[in-house]
Amino acid sequence: MERETESDKRLLRRGFLAVRSRLTPDDVHRAAGALAARALELPELAHASTVAAYVSVGSEPGTLALLDALRARNVRVLLPALLPDSDLDWGVYAGPDSLVRVRHGGKMALLEPAGERLGPEAVRQADAVLLPGLAVDARGMRLGRGGGSYDRALARLEGAGAEPALVVLLYDAEVVAHVPEEPHDRPVHAAVTPSGVHRFREP
């Protein structure tokens, strides 16, 4: 059964990635502005002092405008740095000039914070966590890229009894009726897309 679920997820990932690959830079740029505006309306972000986020790459829903807006609000923004075992370390975002492009093996190059590393446990300081994904369903179950990095971060939060707001950033068509679920998957509280906010459960 678990193998079937993994296979179903792989098929879904390929489909969503294929759709994203057809987006133009203008499409991505326009969506990023709308996404930031929607996300900044969230009470969970309005009241947050620390937000764990990420830097979008390629055709992912753009996050840089949102990161800069949060920083302008004096929010402490934590960004991930991928470790060799696929876990996530964290560093503070200090503006676009504080990012370095890092290629991990044959994977896509990522933009990571250049400054001090705070350790994997730093995510526990976040009042809200902005998550990447490829889709979310009506229950709030998120389909990630399959690397497991954010599953570890979410498990670390759960193990520590931390309960930040979990928000996935997506395109409009990526909010769907159902995605396959495995035992380690955790639902998010909300999804933000360029056209609106979808809530699944209260933080």
Mind listing the pLDDT tens digit of every residue in the chain (203 residues)?
445 577 888 899 999 999 999 999 999 999 999 999 999 999 999 999 999 999 999 999 999 999 999 999 999 999 999 999 989 999 999 999 999 999 887 667 889 999 899 999 999 999 999 999 999 999 999 998 878 899 999 999 999 999 999 999 999 999 999 998 887 888 999 999 999 999 997 76
pLDDT at res. 145: 83
Residue ranges of the domains in the chain? 2-199
Got the DSSP string for 38-78?
HHHT-HHHHT-SEEE-----TTSPP-HHHHHHHHHTT-EEE
Q: Which two tokens stand for residue 177?
A: 């009726």
**182 beta partners:** none
**How far is CA 116 from each of CA 51, 55, 73, 132, 138, rounded to the nearest angstrom?**
17, 17, 22, 23, 38
Structural fold of domain 2-199: Rossmann fold (3.40.50)
Contact between residue 69 and residue 35 where contact means Cβ atoms under 8 Å apart? no
Look up tokens 């200090």; give the residue.
94
Cβ neighbors of 167 (< 8 A, separation 6 or more) are: 39, 42, 44, 45, 128, 129, 130, 131, 188, 189, 190, 191, 192
Predicted confidence at residue 1, as pLDDT, reads 44
93 neighbors 51 (Cβ within 8 angstroms):
no
Distance from C-alpha of 123 to C-alpha of 91, rounded to nearest angstrom: 10
Confirm if 137 and 3 have CB atoms less than 8 A apart. Answer: no
pLDDT for residue 105: 75
- The per-residue pLDDT for 203 is 64
